Structure 1
Amino acid sequence: MKNLKSIALALVVVLSTASVTAQTKKVDASASTINWVGKKVTGQHNGTVNLKDGALVFKGKKLTGGTFTVDMTSLTATDLKGEYQEKLNGHLKADDFFGTDKFPTSTLVFKTIKTTAKDTYNVTAALTIKGITKPVNFNIKVNGNTATTTFNVDRTKYDIKYGSKSFFDSLGDKAISDEFELAVSLKM
C-alpha cells in the first residue's frame, strides 16, 4: 500500500510538471516594425506598414502560436517624398494593389511551428490579403522580448497582378517582381 502511494505521488508530480500551460504574449504594435521592399526591373521601392495588433503564444520558452493583424491603410513608401510618395502610396492602396478601402486589414495566423535551432522556428502560417488566404513559410527567431523574421510573399497569389510579367506580355522595363519582401521585428 505504501508503495502504491509513492507511485501515485510520483505520477502526480510528473503530470503537474509535464503540463506547462500556454502563455500568450501581446505584441506592442507601436514598438514593432514591418518593413517592405518591392522590386521592379528599373529599381525598387521600400516602405513600412503598421501592425494593428498581435500575440505570440509560448509553452514554457517554446513558441507554439501566433496571430497578427496588419493595418493596410498605413502602407507607405519611405524612399520617396512629396508628390511622388503620395502617388505611389495612392496606387499601392488602390484596387490595382492592396485595395485598402475594401480590405483595410491583412492577417497572419501561425498553423504549424517546428523548432529548427535554439530559439529559432520554422513557421507555416495562413496569410490573408484582400480576403484571399494562402500559406506562407518562414523562419522566426525569438530573442528575449523580440521576435524577428524576413520572408517573401508572392503578391499574385492574392490577386495583385498589376505589372506582373507572369500575367502581362510586353511590359519591358515596367515589369514589377511578383514577390515583395517583409522584414518584421515584433516587440513584446
Structure 2
Amino acid sequence: MDTKIFKVNTENSTIDWIGRKVTGAHNGTIRIKEGNFIFENQKLQSGKFIIDTRSIKILDIEDNETNRQFANHLASDDFFNVEQFPEASFEITHAEPGDENFYYVQGHLTIKGITQPIDTSLHIVTTDNAAVLKTRLVVDRTKFNIRFRSSNFFTNLGDTLIYNNFDLNIHLIAEAY
C-alpha cells in the first residue's frame, strides 16, 4: 500500500469568506494554522485542517475605524468568540471518489467548540510532491450558536437581518512529506 501524507502550506493556502445580509454582503479572509491529508494508492483517505479564528480579516470595508469595529464584533461572542475559541477545524470522515479529480466528502466542521456534520465536493489535483485542494463550504452559522440578527431567533429585524448561511471558499496547497 502506497501511503502519502501531504502537509498544508499555510503561507500559500487561503480561505475566503462571504457573509450576506439583507442590505448587501461582507467578505474577507481567514488563515489556516495547520493541516494535512492522507492518500493511499493515490486516493484521498482522510484529512484535517485547523483555522486560526483570530486571523479574521475584512476586505470590503476601507475605512480603518469601521473595519476595526466590525473585526472586533466578529471576534466577540456575538459571532466567533475568538478569545475562548481561537481555532475552528474541518476533518474529513469519509471521501468517495467521483468524476475525475473530484471527491464527495463527508466531514465534521467545528466552530466555537460545536461540531456539526457537513458534506461537500472537493476538487483535488495531485502530483508526486504536491496537492491542490479546493472546495466551498456553505455553513449555517446558527448550528454553531452564532445567532446575532438571525431570523431563526429574532423577529422584526427588517433590513438589519443577517442571513444564516455564510460561505468559506477554501484553496489549500499541500506538500508531500
When normalised by structure 2's length, the TM-score is 0.93
CA distance in 2, matches of 1:157, 1:76: 22
Q: Secondary structure at 1:163's aligned position in 2?
A: coil
Query: Deviation per CA, 1:110-145, whole angstroms, max 9, x where unpaired?
Result: 111111111100111111100000001111011132
**Aligned ranges 1:146-157 → 2 under 5 Å:** 146-157=132-143
CA distance in 2, matches of 1:79, 1:107: 25
Q: Could you say which residue in structure 1 is the equivalent of 2:7?
A: 26
Equivalent AA in structure 2 for residue 80 of structure 1: I
**Counterpart selection for 1:55 from 36, 47, 52:** 36
Residues 1:171 and 2:157 are matched in the alignment: yes
Give the root-mean-square deviation of aligned CA atoms. Answer: 0.8
CA distance in 1, matches of 2:113, 2:3: 30
Query: Deviation per CA, 1:61-120, whole angstroms, max 9, x where unpaired?
Result: 211111111000001111112111111100000000000000000011111111111110
Q: Could you say which residue in structure 1 is the equivalent of 2:26?
A: 45
Residues 1:94 and 2:80 are matched in the alignment: no
Question: Whose helix fraction is larger, Structure 1's or Structure 2's?
Answer: 1
Identity %: 36
Q: Secondary structure at 1:103's aligned position in 2?
A: coil
Residues 1:158 and 2:144 are matched in the alignment: yes
CA distance in 2, matches of 1:175, 1:109: 31
Q: Which runs of 5+ in 2 are unaligned?
A: none
Q: Could you say which residue in structure 2 is the equivalent of 1:180?
A: 166
The answer to whether the 8 Å contact 2:2/2:42 transfers is no
1:52 CA drift (Å): 0.1
1:21 CA drift (Å): 3.4
Q: Could you say which residue in structure 2 is the equivalent of 1:116?
A: 98
Q: Could you say which residue in structure 1 is the equivalent of 2:119?
A: 137
Question: Whose strand fraction is larger, Structure 1's or Structure 2's?
Answer: 2
CA distance in 1, matches of 2:112, 2:2: 35
The range that moved more, 35-44 or 61-70, is: 61-70
The size of the alignment, in residue pairs, is: 169
Q: Which runs of 5+ in 1 are unaligned?
A: 1-19
The answer to whether the 8 Å contact 1:62/1:119 transfers is no
1:22 CA drift (Å): 2.3
Q: Secondary structure at 2:11's aligned position in 1?
A: coil
CA distance in 2, matches of 1:175, 1:30: 35
When normalised by structure 1's length, the TM-score is 0.88
Q: Could you say which residue in structure 2 is the equivalent of 1:4?
A: none
Equivalent AA in structure 1 for residue 23 of structure 2: T
